[in-house]
Amino acid sequence: MNERETKSNGKARVAILGYGTVGISVAKALQMLGLPSIELSQIFNRDVARKQALPEARFAGFDTVWTGSVDEALGSDATIVVELIGGVDPARDWIRRALTAGKSVVTANKQLIAYHGVELLALAEANGVQLLYGAAVAGGVPVIPGIMQGQSGDRITRISGLLNGTCNYILSRMEAGDRYADVLADAQRLGYAESDPTADVGGFDARAKLCILSRVAMHVELNPDEVGTQTIADVDAVDFAYARELGCTIRQVSRAQREGGGMYARVGPMLVPRESPIAWSHGTQNMVVTTGTLGGDVVFSGHGAGGDATAVAVVSDIVAAAQGSRPVSLPVIVSAIAGALAQVDANIDSLLQRPGYPKHRLAFVVTTEPCRTSTIERAVTEMAKLDCMLARPLALQRLVVDDKDEETA
């Protein structure tokens, strides 16, 4: 067991940030499993008294400390922090603080990992701890560990599938004749949908997951904002009637594939032939099909939304963190560069590495969040010292052309 993840009683101590649908299910799963090496030591929630009054508070341990102060939870002797707040801010800052304090982090936060995963993974590596996010994609379906540990021996060229349980639930019930608005309300009531369901139906939830899978499976950094999305809110009963005539049904499909020297990625409703396995999935089912150069197609499927399904992935990551098992790390060069940027407190915004360049002289581009030119110059000096760097990196500033563009170096 990793020395940092144990205390004198030999147990990994877990702090849960956020006692909502998933947090409650995680506590319930930990209680049900009764894992001897894991202790639920802290539960943080803003309105902690209200949470403590819930019947579901019984899933906490006898010794679990309830707190409304995130500083107390992060400053506690917990060795693993489980972030279940969602959204980018303040979750990003809290995770940074936990990693910097030498705590491993488990998160289900897809937006954060899609936008800032590279930076946070580098920070985890620099601090000798782990950042695990299996629950960020496909709930209880072990797609991320499956790809990381089971498909690192292949070159994956395409990912396609159903990455949003709410959309699958809505579209499969509409296929059976139910009305969009009624089914969406049910999905919200059952805890499948995001707090703002536009993220589900508009495709933004699925595209974050698609970007994470592209990173894990194809080592490609996609900017979520550049992935095309189309809402399912415009799909009507009449569309299902015509789809049926064409031998199809309608599903929200997410696809990313290598094309020529670049990448194609998109999320939106599609006509799916009835004989396709994608058409057979109903309810909150997720399905991911990876296509490898050597292994061909591999299919992952199961429940992608809901507290209990998601808790399976969270608890599996807690167990992995407690055992100190290391995920397959970022490619060495990427992690060295990320380390150099972390040293000068520059945050990575995106990382681009396109195929088509000689393998012994790989070219790639890192963009950062806005920062001082002197910060970038210090980072470039550090990077130039790396053995893997064949030439001093070229630093270019980005010209601000309108209010939406941010200056990056």
| Residue numbers at the binding site for ligand HSE (CB under 6 A) | 139, 164-166, 192-194, 200, 205, 304-305
How far apart are CB 368 and ligand HSE at their closest, in Å?
28
How far apart are CB 166 and ligand HSE at their closest, in Å?
3
Q: Which of 51, 209, 359, 404 is catalytic?
A: 209
Q: Is 100 helix (H, G, I), strand (E, B) or coil?
A: helix
Smaller CB separation from ligand HSE, 61 or 191: 191
* Measured CA angle at 89 (ends 69, 140), to 5 deg: 90
Q: What DSSP string runs through 42-90?
A: EEE-TTHHHHHTSGGGGGS-TTPEEES-HHHHHHSS-SEEEE-S-SSTT
How far apart are CB 223 and ligand HSE at their closest, in Å?
20
Smaller CB separation from ligand HSE, 200 or 221: 200
DSSP β-bridge partners for residue 257: 158, 264
Residue nearest to ligand HSE (CB): 166
Task: Give the residue among 321, 322, 204 at the shortest CA–CA distance from 266.
Answer: 204
How far apart are CB 340 and ligand HSE at their closest, in Å?
33
- Amino acid occupying residue 390: L
Smaller CB separation from ligand HSE, 125 or 194: 194
Smaller CB separation from ligand HSE, 83 or 205: 205
Q: What DSSP string runs through 175-226?
A: HTT--HHHHHHHHHHTT-S-SSTHHHHTSHHHHHHHHHHHHHHH-----GGG
Question: What tokens appear for 246 in the block?
Answer: 């064409």
How far apart are CB 309 and ligand HSE at their closest, in Å?
8
CA distance 361 to 364: 10
Contact between 213 and 138 under an 8 Å Cβ cutoff? The reply is no
Half-sphere exposure of 90 (CA within 13 A, CB side): 8
CB atoms closer than 10 angstroms to residue 385: 10
Smaller CB separation from ligand HSE, 132 or 193: 193
How far apart are CB 371 and ligand HSE at their closest, in Å?
32
Smaller CB separation from ligand HSE, 200 or 349: 200
Smaller CB separation from ligand HSE, 196 or 226: 196
126 burial (CB, 10 Å; 0-12 / 13-18 / 19+) is: middle
Question: What tokens appear for 127 in the block?
Answer: 């601090």
Residue 65's alpha-carbon distances to 28, 57, 78, 83, 353, in angstroms, are 16, 12, 11, 16, 45
Active-site residue flag, 404? no
Task: Give the residue among 282, 303, 264, 274 at the shortest CA–CA distance from 160.
Answer: 264
Half-sphere exposure of 169 (CA within 13 A, CB side): 25
CA distance 104 to 346: 21
How far apart are CB 144 and ligand HSE at their closest, in Å?
13
Q: Which residues are catalytic?
A: 209
